[in-house]
Amino acid sequence: MTRKPHPGGIRRRQSHPWQCLHLGLAIVLGFVCAPAEHFLHAKTNKPILHGRHWMAITGKPLAASAGAQIFAQGGNAIDATCAMLAASCTMHDALSWGGETQALVYHPIEKKVIGINALGVAPTGATADFFLARGMRYPPGEGPLAAVTPGTPGGLMVMLAEYGTMSLEQVLKPAIQMAEGYPMEAGTSEWIESSKDSLKQWPYSKDIFLPHEGEYYEAPRPGEIFRQPDLKATLEKLVFAEKKALARGATRKEAVMAANDRFYRGDIAEEFVRGSREQGGLHTAADLANWEVHIEEPVMSTYHDVEVYKLTSWVQGPCMLQILNMLEPLDLKSMGLNSARYIHTLYQVMNLAFADRDFYYGDPYFPPDEPLETLLSKDYARFRLREINPMRNDPFAGPGDPYGFNNKPNPFQRELDHWRNQSPFQRPRASADYWDQYHRDFRAGTTSIQAADKDGWVVSVTPSGGWMPACIAGRTGIGMSQRMQSFVLLPEDGPYNVLEPGKRPRATLTPTIALKGKEPYLAFSVQGGDTQEQNLVQFLINFMEFGMNVQEACESPNITSYQMHASFGEHEFKPGKLTLQEDVPPWVRNELKTMGYRLDFDERTSGPITAIYFDRKHGTLWGGASHHGDDYGVAW
């Protein structure tokens, strides 16, 4: 594992006077202070959680229970997070063990936020030419060729070794019990059944997920005990490696890392590679052996008096900071929540930030350096705001030029000119079927974890990868990632994110921690692919600007833009498409239509948001989870 500090200046807040948008986008300006109290104002579908000692929230009740068990045994928030992550991976609904983990950790002793980069990398042989020669515009979305190296096992073990207090055996115990057999949930059962044609392509997946092959319903039935003997054996091998190291006199940390070594350099890695290559994958032993978790300094920007921390450009997290920088000078309250003017402003700001994401974000461990310092500056945000048309949607909204902004040459000027000169209607267009698939799959193919304890440890995680249909790697029981599809193969599609062996794809996964007065204020994240930053920005605005409590903000209707390039499949682009909640009144709908939007409506307008609010006045924790999924938590 390595540390890579981020460029200086990202944390500096610019203090230049605001100049009004020359087109009059936001008439009333000024800073709006966050409300001092967040009381329960409206009836919510789920009750707010209250705790004093600890809180554990995640995507599945069984996984939240695993975290609660660890807390009850005296573990800290890191220990509980690892148990929840392990249990979630074992359930295969939202992710598998071969996926990726990205986390933010607040360290109460060091008084700082720490980033955990446990995203896998492209294996040997996975080059742009490899896929282009096979007639692909992007890497495939499922199967062995979609898989980067597994990241979640390493992320879990490094977090536990560095910041936890318990043994790997203790935090894996609930997951091992579940691998031995747990009652299948109805939603997961239905998802397996709907994925069975793909699962039948891969022999190890078929053996695990289709116990009733040949019958009308081939997936495990709801309530049926679902058993995974291969995965159980893999997890037990990790525990045995830890015990063996402890018997030799190793420290707790050294013993956990001995298990990590067995996974990535021992017999587990050997079987993973064999199983991948047998089914057409490209993984080699060196790919796993050379991969490592990075412990990083995250990026931060302020929104009024709150510091918001995100992971760096290997995920889309900085995009949220760009959005907040553009929204900060505007008086959002005077616009009115979800008025036509508010929706238009938010939509246009998000489009500019996502265009920068599409062009400038990528793996920071590969040259050239992403221009994050400029992208996250307040001056650049004000400059980008002036590009907004206050009266109509701009389907041509594209990436800015952070290099030109600083009077420097852009290293990808040719690609930028190509992007800007191409009509948005010449780019890949998304069909209705694509977005139906998006809502069904990518909003389900991730989960989130929030944990906090009385000693001040806070964790926010957005793990993913290996969702259904998952290709199992040999007899490991491990479902492989599908994250390779988030790469591009041509520089004009995003020069910082072009596929190379050993490189991380720019992922959508994005945990969040916010501090106020240098103390934890909020921890929050959401599943939902490209919609994640959109949902999280609206959550934070609802909480800070419109006085909602944490549960109300989790349940509040969102808007969704699809004008960015999707990070999955064929990376489709849908200019002007706007999803609204079904209850939006007709006068708002009509005004938005005159502004050039193509509207559709949905009862569900965000992925399941999970969050913890830290009530410093009373010394308590407030927990929220949206009502769209199984996400919930346990507190004490």
Nearest to 260 by CA among 180, 168, 166: 168
Nearest to 469 by CA among 440, 489, 448: 440
User: Once rounded to an integer, what is the mean pLDDT over residues 575-586?
Assistant: 94
Whether residue 59 contacts residue 185, with contact meaning beta carbons closer than 8 Å, is answered with no
* Residue for token pair 């995009």: 319
**Encoding tokens for residue 481?**
């990632």
Higher pLDDT, 70 or 60: 70
> Contacts by 417-422 with C-beta closer than 8 Å and gap 24+?
418/492, 419/359, 419/492
* Residue for token pair 């979800």: 338
Q: Determine the pLDDT at residue 632.
A: 83
Whether residue 142 contacts residue 469, with contact meaning beta carbons closer than 8 Å, is answered with yes
In percent, the amount of the chain with pLDDT more than 70 equals: 90
Nearest to 399 by CA among 346, 322, 344, 310: 322
Alpha carbon separation from 438 to 94, 249, 346, 488, 613 (Å, rounded): 14, 50, 22, 19, 30
Q: Determine the pLDDT at residue 422.
A: 77
Paired sense of beta strands 577-581 and 598-602, if any: parallel
DSSP state of 166: S
Nearest to 233 by CA among 179, 298, 186: 179
**Encoding tokens for residue 402?**
């952070």
pLDDT band at 406 (very low <50, low <70, confident <90, very high): very high
DSSP state of 558: -
Higher pLDDT, 436 or 247: 247
Q: Does pLDDT of 108 surpass 60? A: yes
In percent, the amount of the chain with pLDDT more than 90 equals: 83
Helix (H, G, I), strand (E, B) or coil at 476: helix
User: Once rounded to an integer, what is the mean pLDDT over residues 258-263?
Assistant: 98
Q: Does pLDDT of 441 surpass 70? A: no
Whether residue 459 contacts residue 171, with contact meaning beta carbons closer than 8 Å, is answered with no
pLDDT in tens, 475-525: 999 999 999 999 999 999 999 999 999 999 999 999 999 999 999 999 999
Burial of 455-483, coded b for 16+ CB within 10 Å and e otherwise, reads: ebbbbbbbbbbbbbbbbbbbbbbbbbbbb
pLDDT in tens, 183-234: 999 989 999 999 999 999 999 999 999 999 999 999 999 999 999 999 999 9
**Encoding tokens for residue 536?**
């999280």
Alpha carbon separation from 425 to 233, 360, 487, 603 (Å, rounded): 52, 21, 22, 29
Helix (H, G, I), strand (E, B) or coil at 15: coil
Q: Determine the pLDDT at residue 276.
A: 98
Q: Determine the pLDDT at residue 159.
A: 98
Nearest to 610 by CA among 445, 455, 440, 461: 461
Sheet holding 512-516, edge to edge: 49-51, 620-625, 609-615, 519-526, 512-516, 306-310, 299-303
**What is the CA angle 149-155-157, rounded to 5?**
120
User: Once rounded to an integer, what is the mean pLDDT over residues 317-340?
Assistant: 97
State the sign of the Cα–Cα–Cα–Cα dihedral 227, 229, 230, 233: positive
Q: In angstroms, rounded to a whole number, what is the distance separating the alpha carbons of residues 581 and 595?
A: 18
**What is the CA angle 19-21-25, rounded to 5?**
140
pLDDT band at 239 (very low <50, low <70, confident <90, very high): very high
Strands (E) in 214-286, as ranges, are 225-226
Q: Does pLDDT of 27 surpass 90? A: no
Q: In angstroms, rounded to a whole number, what is the distance separating the alpha carbons of residues 287 and 150?
A: 10
pTM as predicted: 0.92
Q: Determine the pLDDT at residue 606.
A: 80
User: Once rounded to an integer, what is the mean pLDDT over residues 305-325?
Assistant: 98
The burial class, CB within 10 Å (0-12 / 13-18 / 19+), for 286 is middle
pLDDT in tens, 594-628: 999 999 998 888 878 999 999 999 999 999 998 88
Read out DSSP for 90-147? HH-SS--TBSBEEEEEEETTTTEEEEEEE---PPTT--HHHHHTTT-SS--SSSGGG-
The domain ranges of the chain are 59-295+444-497
Between the two ends of the chain, the Cα-to-Cα distance in Å is 34
Q: Does pLDDT of 10 surpass 80? A: no
Whether residue 490 contacts residue 480, with contact meaning beta carbons closer than 8 Å, is answered with no
pLDDT band at 426 (very low <50, low <70, confident <90, very high): low
pLDDT in tens, 82-97: 999 999 999 987 799 9
Whether residue 617 contacts residue 546, with contact meaning beta carbons closer than 8 Å, is answered with no
pLDDT band at 42 (very low <50, low <70, confident <90, very high): low
User: Once rounded to an integer, what is the mean pLDDT over residues 61-71?
Assistant: 96
Helix (H) / strand (E) containing 69:
helix 61-72
pLDDT band at 421 (very low <50, low <70, confident <90, very high): confident
Strands (E) in 532-631, as ranges, are 560-561, 577-581, 598-602, 609-615, 620-625
Mean pLDDT, rounded, of the chain: 90
Q: In angstroms, rounded to a whole number, what is the distance separating the alpha carbons of residues 292 and 622?
A: 35
pLDDT in tens, 142-180: 999 999 999 999 999 999 999 999 999 999 999 999 999
Tallying the residues shown for the chain, one arrives at: 636
**Encoding tokens for residue 348?**
């246009």
Alpha carbon separation from 129 to 126, 132, 136, 279 (Å, rounded): 8, 5, 10, 21
**What is the CA angle 27-29-31, rounded to 5?**
155
